[in-house]
């Protein structure tokens, strides 16, 4: 299995531009999570989906952020317009949740976003 795939791995853009991050979860997993990691705030959950449906988007910082999951194998996180304070590493993770207590999340390699 290729694991969780994210693209691009690095993104440098200018303030005000639209940024789209992409994620392909592990095949067969039914839950997908978008995180943001910074030195100051650590790893923060932005939004998660279960069976392609957004369940909790309370971590999305503001309306400039949006996420979609049109099918079980693809999700996007969009920032429009981007700002310098959005600079961070964005991780996508997926898991198979069928009840029980162990729902390990597998993380992708991350996208390092720099907004100038």
Among 77, 79, 108, 113, binds another protein (CB under 8 A): 108
Which sign does the torsion angle of CA 107, 4, 68, 8 carry? positive
* Shortest distance, position 12 Cβ to another protein, whole Å: 17
* Shortest distance, position 48 Cβ to another protein, whole Å: 6
Stretch that binds another protein, among 11-19, 63-71, 80-88, 108-116 (CB under 8 A): 108-116
Longest dimension (CA), the chain: 44
Stretch that binds another protein, among 16-24, 39-47, 66-74, 77-85 (CB under 8 A): 39-47
State how beta strands 111-115 and 10-13 pair: parallel
Residue 18 contacts residue 78 (beta carbons within 8 Å)? yes
Residue 111 binds another protein (CB under 8 A): no
Closer by beta carbon to another protein, 82 or else 105: 105
CA distance 55 to 7: 23
Residue 66 contacts residue 86 (beta carbons within 8 Å)? no
Among 34, 36, 48, 67, binds another protein (CB under 8 A): 48
Residue 116 binds another protein (CB under 8 A): no
Among 36, 67, 75, 91, binds another protein (CB under 8 A): 91
State how beta strands 19-24 and 74-79 pair: antiparallel
């Amino acid at each position: 299995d290729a694991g969780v795939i994210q693209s691009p791995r690095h993104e440098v853009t200018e303030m005000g531009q639209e940024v789209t991050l992409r994620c392909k979860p592990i095949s067969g997993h039914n839950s997908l999570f978008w995180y943001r990691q910074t030195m100051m705030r650590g790893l923060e959950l932005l939004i998660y989906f279960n069976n392609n449906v957004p369940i909790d988007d309370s971590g999305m910082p503001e309306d400039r952020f949006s996420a979609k999951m049109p099918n079980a194998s693809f999700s996007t996180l969009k920032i429009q317009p981007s700002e310098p304070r959005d600079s961070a590493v964005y991780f996508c993770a997926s898991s198979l949740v069928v009840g029980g207590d162990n729902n390990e999340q597998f993380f992708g390699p991350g996208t390092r976003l720099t907004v100038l």
